Amino acid sequence: MKFFSFLMLSSMLVLCSISCKEASKTDSTEQVANQTAAEKTPSSSIKVTQRDSKGHPASNKPKKAQNNAKNKSADDHLSAGGMDWLSIEDAASLKDKSGKKYLIDVYTDWCGWCKVMDKKTFTDPEVIAYLEENFHIVKFNAEQKNPITWEGKSYEWIKTGRKGVNTLAQKLLGGRLGYPTMVYLDENKQLIKSSPGYKDPAKLLAELRQL
Domain ranges across the chain: 2-54, 69-209
| pTM for the whole structure | 0.66
Q: Which regions in the chain score pLDDT beneath 70?
A: 1-75
Helices 125-134 and 201-209 cross at an angle (nearest 10°) of: 30
Give the fold, CATH level 3, of 69-209: Glutaredoxin (3.40.30)
Whether the CB-CB separation of 84 and 163 falls below 8 Å is answered with: no
The predicted pLDDT at position 70 comes to 52
The predicted pLDDT at position 78 comes to 86
Please work out, in degrees rounded to the nearest 5, the angle formed at the alpha carbon of residue 208 by the alpha carbons of 83 and 146.
55
Alpha carbon of residue 139 to chain centroid? 20
